[in-house]
Structure 1
Amino acid sequence: MIPTSLLHSPTPPLTDPSVGRGRRLLWPAVAIGGATAYAVIAHLVNPYEAGNYPTCPWLAVTGTYCPGCGTLRATHSLTEGNLVEALQRNPLTVFAFVVMALGFLRWTRRQWRGEQRMTAAPAWLLYALFWAIIAFWVGRNIPGWTWLSPA
């Protein structure tokens, strides 16, 4: 017979209650500030105009697109409210922004409640993410598959 204490995971303990919410929300505030600064710069400095940003080093050396090629243009399009164009420039970026926003909300909620830190993602998820990025990288460089290229 398995003890019932092993069947049910205990609720995560709260952090030190003497630490106020303002202090616990410092890092989420820093993160949202950084993300906002990135979005404002990507919006104001148009990546579609030549010379505003340097060329991707991977593209310059190999002539092929990396998984990040088109990220600035996708961000710029998102800040202008053009989701279709953002998906055309880099669909992986748009997907990553959604995942990061959900993760940020979860992290901020846990900080607000004073819960313990989140654990790392399970290994299978990290491997799946790695192979999805590799598949995207290969797929966007297949001749004829212009629907994945950032151009």
Structure 2
Amino acid sequence: MRAVNADSEHLVPPEAPTGALGRLAAPAGVLAAVAGAFAYVATVNPYRPGHYPVCPLYAVTGLYCPGCGGLRSAHAFIHGDLTAALQANAPAVAAYLGFAVLWTLWTVRAARGRPIRLSPGPVQLWGLGAVLLVFTVVRNLPFGGWLHP
């Protein structure tokens, strides 16, 4: 919520949290949410039917989307089975590792009082989209059966 400065009637941004604990509140909250989600997936097996909804794209078309197998991948990753995690959804494993790196950078910078600025350009975003598109196409072709979740 923004306050109004009475003298100039301009919007004034709210004060940033002071102290290390205040600066680490957001990274800690994000970590708690992600850890809670991973703990749930670790205990509720996605290989058993009825616990999670079926992918809508797969249910309607029989095609695997780029996210299909993500829960199975997370379950295997948490239980230390990296081979099964990569087989279920390799880009998801890359995303878990990417999150860990970015979260660590965010936390270190927050502790030092410096903001983290992530501003991927169009080249990076289109590149990521192209990688996911190729992954999706290949996993749905006959020779890409080894990429099925």
Q: TM-score range by the shorter chain?
A: 0.7 to 0.9
Aligned to 1:107: 106
CA drift at 1:17: 9.3
**CA separation of 1:17/1:50 partners in 2, compared to 1, >3 Å: closer, same or farther?**
closer
Unmatched segments (≥5 aa) in structure 1: 1-15
CA drift at 1:113: 0.8
Return 107-116 or 85-94, whichever deviates more: 107-116
Following superposition of structure 1 onto structure 2, how do residues 1-151 of structure 1 map, counting pairs within 5 Å?
19-150=18-149
**CA separation of 1:140/1:80 partners in 2, compared to 1, >3 Å: closer, same or farther?**
same
Residue-pair matches, total: 135
**Structure 2 CA distance, aligned partners of 1:96 and 1:70?**
13
Superposition misfits of 4+ residues, deviation over 2 angstroms: none
**CA separation of 1:140/1:19 partners in 2, compared to 1, >3 Å: closer, same or farther?**
same
Q: Does the 8 Å CA contact 1:58/1:66 hold for their aligned counterparts?
A: yes
**Structure 1 CA distance, aligned partners of 2:63 and 2:93?**
21
**Structure 2 CA distance, aligned partners of 1:50 and 1:17?**
46
TM score, norm. by length of structure 1:
0.84
**Structure 2 CA distance, aligned partners of 1:23 and 1:59?**
43
Q: Which has the higher contact order (CA 8 A, sep 6+)?
A: 1
CA drift at 1:65: 0.1
Aligned to 2:4: none
CA drift at 1:116: 2.9
Letter in 1 for 2:57: W
Q: Does the 8 Å CA contact 1:17/1:114 hold for their aligned counterparts?
A: no
Letter in 2 for 1:55: V
Residue by residue over 1:1-42, the C-alpha shift from the partner in whole angstroms, topping out at 9 and shown as x without a partner, is xxxxxxxxxxxxxxx898111011111001100110111110
Paired-residue identity, %: 38
**CA separation of 1:50/1:131 partners in 2, compared to 1, >3 Å: closer, same or farther?**
same
TM score, norm. by length of structure 2:
0.85
Unmatched segments (≥5 aa) in structure 2: 1-14
